[in-house]
Amino acid sequence: MPLKVKVDRDLCQGHSVCLAECPEVFDVVEQDEGYPVVKVLLQEPPNVLREKVLAAAKYCPNHVITVEES
Amino acid sequence: MADSAAVDLKLPPKVSGEKPGVGHMEEFDVNFARFLMHCQEECGELAEYNMAGQQTVLMSGPEAQEAFLKTLDKKLSRAAAYQATVPVFGKGVIFDATPDRMKTQLKIQVDALRYQNMKHYAAIIAQEVQDWVADWGDEGELDFLDEFISLTLHTACHCLLGPDFRYKMTDEFKSLYHDLEKGLQAIAFVDPYMQQPVFEARDHARARLQELISAIIAERRANSDKEYGDALETFMSGTYKDGSPLSDNEITGLVIATMFAGHHTSSGTAAWMAVEFARNPQCTEEILEELTTLFADGAELTFEALREIPRLESFMDEVLRLHPPLVLLMRRVIEDIDYKGTLIEAGKTVAISTYGSHRNPEYFPDPERFDPHRPKVNSPELMWAYIPFGGGPHKCAGNAFAQMQLKSIFAALLPKYEFELVAPPETYQDDFSAMVLKPSSPCRLRYRKR
């Protein structure tokens, strides 16, 4: 089953845990002002990345990431 | 929250018992957490009380708390509500900076708390805990609030300012810190500049700390090829949008703000965790079992290893539910607000109470009972009801650091020592005398080597 990654950028403070867990899917980018914010590189990542994507969502300190299994 | 339009808006219900001049200040001072619970019980979702002339609207329940936490500074200002911090953090720092500069300062502060630094901090904390227990012997009795105030000051200094500063730390530094903390009591939120001995001590402490920290900054500037990997390095290399670096005063202020945000909040929570471990031996056994399994082969307490310790986390979450270190979060209303048909006028303060929210039986049945087995409280579903670190765009940026530190401390302590209460269980109470919650003193526990 394919995964679908959603993020609530308003809650993100750029802690970068997702980037450490799964750099294939998440990046953290500087903004014009304020905190750097998560950027999703693959909205529908392949199944081989399932564990890593779920870990990124689980360990995000601000609950920014949700993963839907469609 | 909508902008107010010229329709028939109600005003928030007022809490009874207001006295001329002081308003509800006296009741607030007796026990502010209980006073806020009483406000909600009497008036509901919105409750207006009077802090010596400052009208304050308490917003209760997840929906109101979400509105509070998600609304940005230009409408609900943190800066205007937290002017009491200005003499503590310093002129031009955070809540005294222009909105643009404040954003950059907070961004640089978070840079120091990102994943890359956290791995380094985890190693420092593990080392500090080892050093702390080195001379404990087989058994003894300690005041664990005092102990954790000291331990978390060591870890904070070590992570922020590096090993040199940490290992040369004097009693003077500790007492300066204490004076700063006393400068942030309730009265400071009415007027932080009135003539008071505590405020004089606060101002002296701020000035002296700046001398101490400026000396390290100067030394580092003179040795610019060295790498430190601590927060001070991050602060010193951060820049504003125009490329200019932070001044010495701003760096000092950021160091103080960061330590202040993390120090007493962490020591109070750690002390409460120790008390609850002693008070709940069955839960402690379960967590010990978990730790023994996870760290069976003597695995180190690294950042990765500490990421997931479910039973210990549930225990910590429950401690933070019953004893949230910051009880009261505040904002100043900049533009009139229409909250579900009620007008909250510009100039008023709005507030939420973590302590009250965490005792809402609708979300936390039998709320006064300490129960780490209740359904997971630190979850997306309860994001606006369980708010020990606030939430939304201004959530406590140190939350991951704080939780990692608490897990590191107890993952090291519990397998080695068991803890017992020294005084009757009910005598360990929340101390509401300062704005940061902690267990009442003395907070003595007996420890015995396992």
pTM of the predicted model over 0.90:
yes
Section A34-50 average pLDDT: 95
Across A22-56, b (16+ Cβ under 10 Å) vs e yields: beebbebeeeeebbbbbebeeeebeeebbebbbbb
Nearest to A63 among B308, B383, B397 (CB): B383
Q: Which residues of A touch B403 (CB under 8 A)?
A: 61
Identify from B110, B313, B389 which residue to disrupt to test chain A contact, counting A C-beta atoms within 10 A and taking the largest count.
B110
Do A16 and B116 lie within an 8 Å CB cutoff? yes
Tell me how many degrees the CA angle B309-B314-B318 measures, rounded to the nearest 5.
145
pLDDT of residue B260: 87
Would you call B405 an interface residue with chain A, using a CB distance cutoff of 8 Å? Answer: no
Would you call A13 an interface residue with chain B, using a CB distance cutoff of 8 Å? Answer: yes
Identify from A6, A7, A15 which residue to disrupt to test chain B contact, counting B C-beta atoms within 10 A and taking the largest count.
A15
By C-alpha distance, the chain B residue nearest A65 is B380
Do A66 and B380 lie within an 8 Å CB cutoff? yes
Which amino acid makes up residue B8?
D
* Alpha carbon distance B93, B245 (integer Å): 14
End-to-end CA gap in chain B: 54
By C-alpha distance, the chain B residue nearest A10 is B393
Section B313-331 average pLDDT: 97
Closest CA to A42 of A30, A28, A55, A26: A26
pLDDT of residue B6: 57
Identify from B106, B107, B234, B384 which residue to disrupt to test chain A contact, counting A C-beta atoms within 10 A and taking the largest count.
B107
Does an H or E element contain B128, and which? Answer: helix B115-133
B2 — pLDDT class (breaks 50, 70, 90): low
Would you call B415 an interface residue with chain A, using a CB distance cutoff of 8 Å? Answer: no
Q: Which residues of B touch A8 (CB under 8 A)?
A: none
pLDDT of residue B375: 95
Main-chain dihedrals φ then ψ at residue B90, nearest 5 degrees: 120, 160
Counting one residue from chain A and one from chain B, the pairs whose CB atoms sit within 8 A come to: 51
Q: In this model, does residue B300 exceed pLDDT 90? A: no
pLDDT of residue B297: 76
Q: Name the pairing type of β-strands B76-77 and A26-29.
A: unpaired
pLDDT of residue B298: 76
Q: In this model, does residue B131 exceed pLDDT 60? A: yes
CA distance A62 to chain B (A): 8
> For a pLDDT cut of 90, what percent of chain B falls above it?
84
Do B392 and A14 lie within an 8 Å CB cutoff? no
Section A20-45 average pLDDT: 94
User: pLDDT tens for residues B22-32?
Assistant: 999 999 999 99
pLDDT of residue B3: 63
Mean pLDDT of chain B: 94
> For a pLDDT cut of 70, what percent of chain B falls above it?
98
Would you call A68 an interface residue with chain B, using a CB distance cutoff of 8 Å? Answer: no
Nearest to B395 among A13, A16, A33 (CB): A13
Q: In this model, does residue B66 exceed pLDDT 90? A: yes
pLDDT of residue B332: 97
Q: In this model, does residue B303 exceed pLDDT 80? A: yes
User: pLDDT tens for residues B260-287?
Assistant: 899 999 999 999 999 999 999 999 999 9
Section B339-348 average pLDDT: 97
User: pLDDT tens for residues B170-194?
Assistant: 888 888 988 998 888 778 888 999 9
Nearest to B393 among A10, A59, A66 (CB): A10
User: pLDDT tens for residues B218-228?
Assistant: 999 999 888 88
Collapsing DSSP to helix, strand or coil, B242 comes out as coil
For residues B350 and B333, is the Cβ–Cβ distance under 8 A? yes
Do B100 and A33 lie within an 8 Å CB cutoff? yes
A69 — pLDDT class (breaks 50, 70, 90): confident
Q: Name the pairing type of β-strands B349-353 and B54-59.
A: parallel
pLDDT of residue B182: 87
Q: In this model, does residue B4 exceed pLDDT 70? A: no
- ipTM, 2 dp: 0.90
Tell me the two tokens of residue B318.
């429950």
- Per-residue HEC secondary structure of B188-241 comes to HHCCCCCCCHHHHHHHHHHHHHHHHHHHHHHHHHHCCCCCCCCHHHHHHHCECC
Q: Which residue is it, tokens 């909600």?
A: B40
Range name among B171-180, B235-244, B358-367 with the lowest pLDDT average = B171-180
pLDDT of residue B43: 98
Show Cβ contacts of residue B182 under 8 Å, excluding neighbours closer than 6 positions.
Answer: B198, B201, B202, B434
Do A17 and B115 lie within an 8 Å CB cutoff? yes
B164 — pLDDT class (breaks 50, 70, 90): confident
Identify from A6, A9, A13, A16 which residue to disrupt to test chain B contact, counting B C-beta atoms within 10 A and taking the largest count.
A13
Show Cβ contacts of residue B56 under 8 Å, excluding neighbours closer than 6 positions.
Answer: B48, B49, B50, B330, B348, B349, B350, B351
